[in-house]
Chains A and B, each alone.
Chain A
Amino acid sequence: MASISTRRRRLGVIGGTAAAALLLAGCATSDGGGSDLDGIIVGTTDVLTSLDPAGSWDNGSFAVQINVFPMLMNTAYGSPEVEPDIAESAEFTAPNQYTVTLKEGLTFANGNDLTSSDVKFSFDRIINIADENGPSPLLGNIESIEAPDDVTVVFTLKVENDQTFSQVLASPAGSIVDEQVFSADELTPSEEIVDGNAFAGPYVITDYSENELIQYEAFEDYQGLYGTPETPSITGQYFTEETSLKLAVQEGDVDVAYRSLSPTDLADLREQDEVTVYDGPGSEIRYMVFNFATQPFGTATPEADPAKALAVRQAVASVVDREAIANEVYNSTFVPLYSYVPDGMLGANESLKGIYGDGNGGPDLEKAAQVLEAAGIPTPVPFNLQYNPDHYGNSSDEEYALIQSQLNDSGLFEVELQSTLWDVYNVEYREGLYPVFQLGWFPDYPDPDNYLSPFFLPTPDADGNLIYSGFFANGYNDPAAIELIRQQAVTVDEAERVALVEQAQDQVASQLSTLPLLQGASVAVAGTGITGVEETLDTSAKFRYASLGRE
């Protein structure tokens, strides 16, 4: 039995430990004691590849760049249309010349003047550096750039009347940077950009820890489209786990969570009183691609038969139940997609809805069976379906398991489902190894052309040979569709262009190069009292901090 003094000592140790723990917990819950930060904290799981616009072409990097670098043209809140940002005006002054006039007296936050020379420098360096992660392909139509005076920039274009060019200026290729800070022929390290205070957007970066924490302060001399920011101070915090981000916004550790939360977490957050889930129109799409060479009855298979191959594609289109995928897998954070250009964009139509399935978007197994029977195809049709589990979110597993189950349950198909990690997948799908496979798309700019040209126009390879079709290299070659898509890109009259976009979609829908499945909603979660979230959630996919404020 322990003596009294021993017991006292034990109690002392236990008491001391408990007191230390309480003190710790007390300190830990003290709010705001760490600094004078009184702004808004925005959490994300996106990853920033490079702060330099020449070295990145991804959501995570653009989300930062859009808030600190100005653009000639930009998208106003709530609209996919572009308007002048730091430009005073922008227009075609000749079929192959696009002239931009800058506002007077523009400066960078470091005091350097922002002139047409900086604009020319910004675009030239992206083209010259041509970093593999950079957006130089978006500038493929630029022949040359001139800066005849301090406020005038003239872009000479290879293809005349390019109706997408103003959108390109508002894309990840359009950030204007300071030629006195950025290198002309190589990527500039983030530290040099921050130290050089080379910003002229709504915000400047004052503290920077890559993919951990970024502190933004409003730039008083910003003269662009978004005006004076509602909140002078914004902090961007990076999370590696969706669940951590979800708990952070739920606990109030971050004020706004934007990209990405899992459908399950979002469903849970919708039940919480402390936060509001904002759903905006999204521009992300998900679809299946058919490789015309290796799909069942494809041109490179022993039983090659284009008519039968088309019948297989049509039957799949009639079996897939998009509504079930959107609801069961994505808790309605995605909606069914029946066209190539998603809802909210110029010329969007539901070209597939009327011709496949029950005519209202639902599946029709009988119709699918008839198509296969008419083509003389014995069922079940075996085919390999490939998806990727690490690039389009954790729900891809469930999404493709459900698609497999829908196809198999129809009795018309016998699907072999396989998954491959992105770094291999990204190479192998282009090599035609996957007969039918999953892909998704975030637009570079909210224009219908960005959903058509990259997918359905042939692109030349290194030797100048044409590869059909676009970056899928899936062998789809439809001269009628190609002509319509090329025409719409250079048609000045908007009504005429919309008609061409609709015709192009109808034409592709009849051949089913790809099968559109889902359109993503743009979702953000904010704590009580945060305003301005709805304003910035639009089809531009640009999350602009300038609209965020507190009640």
Chain B
Amino acid sequence: MTVEESLTGPDTIKKPRGGGGSGLGRYILVRFLLIIPTVFILVTLVFFLMRVVGDPITASVGGRLTEAQLNERLEAAGYLRPLWVQYFEYIGQVFTGNFGRTVTDNRLISEVILTYGAATLELAFYALIVAFIVGIPLGMLAAYLRDRWPDAVLRIFAILCYATPVFFAGLLLKLTFSVWLGWLPLGGRAGTREQLALGRIDNPTGIYLIDAIRLGNPAVIGDVLAHAVLPGLTLGLLTAGVFLRLVRTNLIGTLGMGYVDAARSRGVRELRLVRRHAYKPALIPIITVMGLQIALLLGGAILTESTFEWRGLGFQLSQYLGARDFVAVQGIVAVLAVIVAVTNFIVDVIAALIDPRVRY
């Protein structure tokens, strides 16, 4: 590298030549276009994996039908046509937003998503709050106390958080706080009376906390929050472990940088260094990782919702899996794939806006 190059910095070297718009514009465009192959590959994989075990109608209701009835249903649903015809038709449907109907209860997949999506969104929100509240401060603490025994304890805690199976963590929390101590509800999103109250307000959003606040009844708000504690903790701790490790590693890296050393040499104390100088730069990678965490959260939500009877998309997905309703599973997974891809895109854009280095 020449002196001139080093003065102009790496941005100058990697700038696109011959036009093509700004780096940010290109970055967003490329990221956006990547959504299409990502979703395409996921949907294709799900389509063929579902068919490895046979057609969905025989799998879910075959035992209750005569052979003639079964053939009639298969014919009507188009499962007697060649696989590649079914595949291209399905792809066409997916890209026009039509995910089909469930086999077991004949509901539109889009209706299922709308009905249960709000609950999953609410759970993801609680989980992210837990992940931030637990993961980031503890990550900072671990970095501050690096290589001392509390750091070791926190690192083990982080490993336990993301290595413990979600259903096992959920069961442990249920046993402890619901069964033995009796402090918190065992499952569900709200008590019976509270659910009825929420259903009676005009146009409920399906996000119980918002509906409860709109209802303006403190007891209902408290009940909804109480029901959210254990599922939120279960799912949140899974992500908190990742955040803790990430914040710790990044913070330690940042604390070793020149400008931090300079501040240290000026006599700034270590805790102040962490709080004032190092933690903001260290958090930037977390925004990038958050996109990936959404996928982790959705995966974890299936188990968390089943464990706590939290009737969201994950719970419904597990019910359809149990009923061998592969059309429903295929549709919901396809929608989840779209959500993950779009979320990743949004997070990438936000990260690029905050930190220009990300664009290259």
Asked if residues B63 and A207 are in contact (CB atoms below 8 Å), the reply is no
Q: How many residues of A contact B (CB 8 A)?
A: 38
Which secondary structure dominates chain A's binding surface?
mixed
Residue of A nearest to B218 (CB): A27
Chain B, 167-199, CB within 8 A of any chain A CB? 178-179, 182-187, 190-199
Stretch binding the partner chain, chosen from B44-52, B87-95, B222-230, B327-335: B222-230
Report A-chain residues with C-beta under 8 Å of the C-beta of B66.
Answer: 462
Asked if residues A132 and B61 are in contact (CB atoms below 8 Å), the reply is yes
Q: Contact partner of B193 among A6, A28, A34, CB < 8 A?
A: A34
Report B-chain residues with C-beta under 8 Å of the C-beta of A426.
Answer: 63-64
Cα A32 to Cα B191 in complex, Å, equals 9
Asked if residues A423 and B311 are in contact (CB atoms below 8 Å), the reply is no
**A278 shortest CB reach to chain B, Å:** 21
Cα A253 to Cα B60 in complex, Å, equals 34
Residue of B nearest to A187 (CB): B106
Q: Does B221 contact A (CB under 8 A)?
A: yes
Asked if residues A132 and B191 are in contact (CB atoms below 8 Å), the reply is no
Q: How many residues of B contact A (CB 8 A)?
A: 47
Interface mask (A478-504 → B, CB under 8 Å = 1, otherwise 0) = 000000000000000000000000000
**A333 shortest CB reach to chain B, Å:** 22
Q: Contact partner of B186 among A6, A237, A247, CB < 8 A?
A: A247
Asked if residues A34 and B187 are in contact (CB atoms below 8 Å), the reply is no
Stretch binding the partner chain, chosen from A18-26, A299-307, A370-378: A18-26
Q: Does B67 contact A (CB under 8 A)?
A: yes
Stretch binding the partner chain, chosen from A209-217, A410-418, A441-449, A525-533: A209-217
Residue of A nearest to B73 (CB): A132
Q: A247-B186, A423-B60, A423-B324 are in contact. Are A30 and B309 (CB under 8 A)?
A: no
Q: Contact partner of A33 among B68, B185, B192, B220, CB < 8 A?
A: B220
Q: A34-B191, A34-B220, A462-B68 are in contact. Are A25 and B226 (CB under 8 A)?
A: yes
Asked if residues B196 and A215 are in contact (CB atoms below 8 Å), the reply is yes
Asked if residues B195 and A213 are in contact (CB atoms below 8 Å), the reply is yes
Report A-chain residues with C-beta under 8 Å of the C-beta of B227.
Answer: 28
Report A-chain residues with C-beta under 8 Å of the C-beta of B183.
Answer: 25
Asked if residues A24 and B196 are in contact (CB atoms below 8 Å), the reply is no
Q: Does B152 contact A (CB under 8 A)?
A: no
Asked if residues A34 and B309 are in contact (CB atoms below 8 Å), the reply is no
Q: Does B14 contact A (CB under 8 A)?
A: no
Report B-chain residues with C-beta under 8 Å of the C-beta of A212.
Answer: 195, 311
Cα A213 to Cα B219 in complex, Å, equals 20
Report A-chain residues with C-beta under 8 Å of the C-beta of B291.
Answer: none
Asked if residues B193 and A423 are in contact (CB atoms below 8 Å), the reply is no
Q: Does B62 contact A (CB under 8 A)?
A: yes
Cα A35 to Cα B217 in complex, Å, equals 9
Cα A209 to Cα B229 in complex, Å, equals 24
Cα A237 to Cα B195 in complex, Å, equals 10
Asked if residues B62 and A427 are in contact (CB atoms below 8 Å), the reply is yes
Q: A27-B218, A28-B184, A33-B219 are in contact. Are A254 and B62 (CB under 8 A)?
A: no
Closest 4 CB pairs of A and B: A27-B222, A33-B219, A28-B226, A34-B194
Contacts A/B (CB < 8 Å), 14 sampled: A6-B271, A24-B222, A25-B226, A34-B195, A34-B220, A35-B193, A35-B196, A132-B64, A132-B65, A132-B69, A212-B195, A247-B178, A247-B186, A423-B63
- 17 extra interchain contacts, Cβ-Cβ under 8 A, other than A34-B194, A212-B195? A24-B225, A27-B221, A28-B225, A33-B193, A33-B194, A33-B223, A34-B191, A34-B193, A34-B217, A35-B200, A207-B196, A209-B199, A235-B192, A237-B192, A240-B306, A254-B192, A423-B60
